[in-house]
Structure 1
Amino acid sequence: MYVWPCAVVLAQYLWFHRRSLPGKAILEIGAGVSLPGILAAKCGAEVILSDSSELPHCLEVCRQSCQMNNLPHLQVVGLTWGHISWDLLALPPQDIILASDVFFEPEDFEDILATIYFLMHKNPKVQLWSTYQVRSADWSLEALLYKWDMKCVHIPLESFDADKEDIAESTLPGRHTVEMLVISFAKDSL
């Protein structure tokens, strides 16, 4: 199992806000090893983990991570970005959606935001807490956020002690350029 650097940064953000997590409904998309979701569950949140329904091995990694962290009760669902499935329709409203490094391939950006948009309609106050690794200065979410009636707030890493090469004794962040965003509906759409 591999933990991506962005997952460590998002987990640090969750840890920094751990007192606000108990009882929150949280969905982690593209969870993989599920470090942020596992941490949120350990902090008292009601967590659902998800990864692509088209990649059963990724869902199995989520389940293994739950078992390894003594959280066998966590629900794991297959969600494929941009597809309306029964699993997506059945999800309860969420307070927070977690996404570490899902903005990896530009051709997936709109499908991810379409899925988030659908989930935001279940709870217009939901926020997407997302970290991503800067891979190209040419990639931008700005136009897509505007198209999907969303706004984005950049969270400085130093505001939650994540501006270091190592976090919580992990050297994974290293010298990667990781950004933290909070995405929500644009103010005038509420």
Structure 2
Amino acid sequence: MYIWPCAVVLAQYLWFHRRSLPGKAVLEIGAGVSLPGILAAKCGAEVTLSDSSELPHCLEISKQSCQLNNLPQVPVIGVTWGHISPDLLALPPQDLILASDVFFEPEDFEDILTTVYFLMQKNPKVQLWSTYQVRSADWSLEALLYKWDMKCVHIPLESFDADKEEIADSALPGRHTVEMLVISFARDSVL
């Protein structure tokens, strides 16, 4: 399995904050291989992994990651962004939402934020910790964040010992600019 640079950076951020994770309810959306969620579970968080209910192969990859990491108790659920499903409705309030490189296709941005907004309604203090690879200077979340009453704080990678040069030297073709964001309701403060 290949681990994308965005997942590594998000895992590094989680590791930097590992002492705050025990007992926290954590949901990873678009989990795939689930590196951030697996790390959060290993650090004592109560983790739920999710990926699209329309992509059973992705759900199976998350389940395999749990098995390979001796975490059979971590639930894996289908959550399709922008859809209110029984699995999404059944989720208890979350303390933290993890998202590694989900802001990939601009047509998905609003569906992702709609899903996050729904989860924020259950716990207005929840934060979305997200990493993404910069693909186009024309893509922006700013208008959607304003629409959904959210704010975003950019987290410099060097503030938690992530090495931008190492990420740029990954095995993927081209250079990789990875960014770290913390998104929350506009009326709440960031950690």
Q: For this structure pair, what is the TM-score category when the shorter chain's length is used for normalisation? A: over 0.9
Q: For residue 152 of structure 2, give the secondary structure of its aligned residue in structure 1.
A: strand
Query: For residue 50 of structure 1, what is the aligned residue in structure 2?
Result: 50
Displacement after TM superposition at 1:4 (Å): 1.2
**8 Å contact 1:52–1:58 — kept in the other structure?**
yes
Q: What is the distance in 1 between the residues matched to 2:12 and 2:3?
A: 13
Give a deviation string over 1:5-44, Cα, whole Å, max 9, x none: 1000000000000011000100000000000000000000
Query: For residue 178 of structure 2, what is the aligned residue in structure 1?
Result: 178
Counterpart amino acid of residue 98 in structure 1: L
Query: For residue 38 of structure 1, what is the aligned residue in structure 2?
Result: 38
Query: For residue 29 of structure 1, what is the aligned residue in structure 2?
Result: 29
Displacement after TM superposition at 1:61 (Å): 0.1
Q: For residue 165 of structure 2, give the secondary structure of its aligned residue in structure 1.
A: coil
1:104–1:59 distance in 2 versus 1, CA, 3 Å: same
**8 Å contact 1:21–1:44 — kept in the other structure?**
yes
Query: For residue 139 of structure 1, what is the aligned residue in structure 2?
Result: 139
Give a deviation string over 1:88-126, Cα, whole Å, max 9, x none: 000010000000000000000000000000000000000
**8 Å contact 1:127–1:184 — kept in the other structure?**
yes
Query: For residue 62 of structure 2, what is the aligned residue in structure 1?
Result: 62
Displacement after TM superposition at 1:172 (Å): 6.1
Query: For residue 99 of structure 1, what is the aligned residue in structure 2?
Result: 99
Counterpart amino acid of residue 82 in structure 2: G
Q: What is the distance in 2 between the residues matched to 1:14 and 1:42?
A: 11
Q: What is the distance in 2 between the residues matched to 1:6 and 1:89?
A: 28
**8 Å contact 1:157–1:163 — kept in the other structure?**
yes
Q: For residue 115 of structure 1, give the secondary structure of its aligned residue in structure 2.
A: helix
Q: What is the distance in 2 between the residues matched to 1:99 and 1:134?
A: 15
Structure 1 length normalisation: TM-score?
Answer: 0.94
Displacement after TM superposition at 1:50 (Å): 0.2
Counterpart amino acid of residue 150 in structure 2: M
Q: For residue 166 of structure 2, give the secondary structure of its aligned residue in structure 1.
A: coil
Displacement after TM superposition at 1:141 (Å): 0.1
Q: For residue 128 of structure 2, give the secondary structure of its aligned residue in structure 1.
A: strand
Does 2:2 align with 1:2?
A: yes
Q: For residue 187 of structure 1, give the secondary structure of its aligned residue in structure 2.
A: coil
Identity rate, percent: 88
Does 2:157 align with 1:157?
A: yes
Give a deviation string over 1:148-178, Cα, whole Å, max 9, x none: 00000000001001133337xx946994100
Q: For residue 166 of structure 1, give the secondary structure of its aligned residue in structure 2.
A: helix
Query: For residue 126 of structure 2, what is the aligned residue in structure 1?
Result: 126
Q: Which blocks of at least 5 consecutive residues in structure 2 are unaligned? A: none
Q: For residue 146 of structure 2, give the secondary structure of its aligned residue in structure 1.
A: helix
Displacement after TM superposition at 1:2 (Å): 2.3
Q: What is the distance in 2 between the residues matched to 1:19 and 1:130?
A: 19
What is the count of residue pairs matched by the alignment?
186
Counterpart amino acid of residue 116 in structure 1: V
Structure 2 length normalisation: TM-score?
Answer: 0.94
